């Protein structure tokens, strides 16, 4: 069902239509004109008796009220009945039970805005309006009954005057005053009732305007939902792509797991080979180390033999060395003496091993008769080595010399 629009936006169109058709009161309309005005107000079809009555009350508050029309309730009910029968033949016409009553008050259609408003939004206000409508209907029925009673009394008075023919002027004046009083009360009640109807129509119009605002908000919510739906579709496409990528990754992972299994097998095979080669290298290393140890032991023995065979003559020792040695014997400490001894030993150890071995072989063969150094070059070389190891040198040079000697010993 399309949302019900307010009457106000179409008031000017309704006024223009009534002016063109010389309509000064809703009672001037027939069923065709009434249906045309109903359609101008953009109201939904099919309509009910209550909806037609509500729109008729709106026309009564908008168009001038023609007071010359009698039996307005009957005319209104007849017009609505004809309009319903003409516009919607499948809807049965309302049954008029008892005497014609005044039109019902302007109330919202029970099906109005059902899709536009939440039940809890308008429930309290609709209950209040329904209560007011019941009160107005009760007042209307009471006024109709009083009007009927007044008419009956007036007719009874007229009949009584016709039957009696003679009444005193005082009684007639009192009766006229009573009738005038009753008419005044009726007009007053009618005015109050009309004011209540107008107030209720204003409240209903305000409620309709609020429903228009709710319709706009719902339209905005529908746009937001449409955007969210589009985003959801995009996310679904992305999720499908992610699922595809996930499957590809799973397939690649399976390949990697297979390759990893093959790699583990190869690694295990390589580890076995490495262990075998490590054992072989360990055995070779042990063999080489044993050979090196034997060679070192033989060389050490040869060096010890050579050192025991070498005899340095007193004339060979430089004068500076002899003087320094004498000073150490006289005034030197044990630490200085030990340091001097180690320095001389390290200096002597710098002689080439090949030369020492040759010297040892010559001594052992008896070629040199116990003379170790045969050439002047060897003597000068030994002298130079001893001078480099003298503690009389500067401390910085001495430290550098010791560092160099330590490195050579480690390399050997």
Task: Kindly report, residue by residue over 155-212, the tens digit of the pLDDT.
Answer: 777 777 676 765 567 777 777 888 888 888 888 878 888 888 888 888 887 777 777 7
- 143, 189 Cβ separation under 8 angstroms: yes
Q: What is the pLDDT of residue 92?
A: 40
Q: Which two tokens stand for residue 328?
A: 């150490």
* Residue 258 lies inside a defined structural domain of this protein: no
Choosing from 69, 104, 139, the residue where a domain stops is 104
CA distance 153 to 308: 171
* Residue 169 lies inside a defined structural domain of this protein: no
Give me the mean pLDDT over the 252-258 stretch.
89
Q: What is the pLDDT of residue 301?
A: 77
Structural domain of residue 349, as residue ranges?
Answer: 316-411
* Residue 21 lies inside a defined structural domain of this protein: yes
77-86, 164-173, 225-234, 315-324, range with greatest mean pLDDT: 225-234
Q: Which two tokens stand for residue 350?
A: 């710098």
- Greater model confidence, 357 or 299: 299
Average of per-residue pLDDT values in the chain: 70
Choosing from 64, 84, 104, the residue where a domain stops is 104
Q: What is the pLDDT of residue 228?
A: 92
* Residue 281 lies inside a defined structural domain of this protein: no
- Whether the full predicted model's pTM is greater than 0.75, yes or no, is no
* Residue 114 lies inside a defined structural domain of this protein: no
If pLDDT is split at 50, 70 and 90, which confidence band does 326 have?
Answer: confident
* Residue 346 lies inside a defined structural domain of this protein: yes
* Residue 152 lies inside a defined structural domain of this protein: no
Candidates 188, 172, 200, 154; CA nearest to 54 is 200
Q: What is the pLDDT of residue 303?
A: 63
Q: What is the pLDDT of residue 32?
A: 86
**At residue 357, does pLDDT exceed 80?**
no
* Residue 85 lies inside a defined structural domain of this protein: yes
If pLDDT is split at 50, 70 and 90, which confidence band does 147 have?
Answer: confident
Q: Which two tokens stand for residue 75?
A: 């005319």
Choosing from 61, 78, 104, the residue where a domain stops is 104
If pLDDT is split at 50, 70 and 90, which confidence band does 102 have?
Answer: very low
- 52, 1 Cβ separation under 8 angstroms: no
% pLDDT > 70, the chain: 60
Domain count, the chain: 2
Give the CA diameter of the chain. Answer: 200
**At residue 9, does pLDDT exceed 50?**
yes
């Amino acid at each position: 069902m399309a949302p019900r629009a307010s009457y106000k936006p179409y008031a000017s169109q309704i006024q223009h239509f009534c002016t063109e058709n010389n309509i000064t009161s809703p009672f001037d309309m027939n069923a065709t004109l009434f249906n045309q005005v109903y359609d101008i107000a953009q109201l939904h079809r099919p309509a009910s008796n209550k909806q037609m009555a509500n729109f008729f009350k709106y026309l009564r508050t908008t168009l001038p009220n023609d007071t010359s029309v009698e039996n307005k309730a009957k005319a209104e009910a007849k017009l609505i009945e004809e309009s319903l029968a003409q516009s919607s033949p499948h809807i049965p016409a309302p049954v008029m039970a008892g005497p014609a009553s005044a039109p019902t008050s302007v109330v919202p259609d029970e099906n109005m805005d059902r899709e536009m408003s939440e039940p809890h939004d308008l429930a309290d206000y609709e209950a209040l309006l329904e209560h007011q409508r019941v009160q107005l209907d009760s007042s209307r029925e009471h006024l109709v009954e009083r009007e009927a009673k007044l008419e009956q009394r007036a007719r009874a008075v007229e009949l009584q005057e016709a039957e009696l023919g003679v009444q005193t002027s005082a009684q007639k004046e009192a009766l006229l005053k009573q009738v005038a009083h009753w008419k005044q009360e009726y007009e007053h009640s009618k005015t109050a009732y009309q004011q209540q109807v107008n107030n209720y129509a204003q409240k209903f119009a305000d409620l309709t305007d609020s429903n228009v605002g709710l319709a706009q908000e719902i339209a905005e919510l529908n746009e937001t939902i449409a955007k969210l739906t589009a985003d959801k579709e995009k996310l679904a496409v992305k999720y499908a792509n992610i699922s595809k990528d996930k499957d590809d990754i799973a397939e690649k992972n399976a390949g990697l797991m297979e390759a990893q299994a093959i790699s583990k097998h190869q690694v295990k095979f390589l580890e076995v080979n490495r262990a075998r080669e490590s054992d072989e290298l360990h055995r070779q290393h042990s063999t080489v180390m044993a050979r090196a140890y034997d060679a070192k032991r033989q060389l050490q023995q040869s060096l010890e033999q050579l050192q025991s065979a070498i005899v340095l003559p007193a004339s060979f020792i430089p004068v500076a060395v002899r003087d320094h040695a004498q000073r150490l014997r006289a005034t030197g400490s044990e630490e200085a003496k030990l340091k001097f001894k180690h320095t001389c030993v390290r200096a002597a150890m710098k002689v080439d091993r090949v030369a020492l071995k040759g010297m040892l072989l010559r001594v052992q063969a008896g070629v040199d008769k116990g003379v170790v150094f045969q050439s002047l070059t060897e003597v000068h070389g030994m002298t130079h080595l001893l001078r480099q190891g003298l503690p009389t040198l500067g401390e910085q040079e001495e430290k550098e010399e010791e560092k160099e000697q330590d490195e050579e010993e480690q390399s050997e």
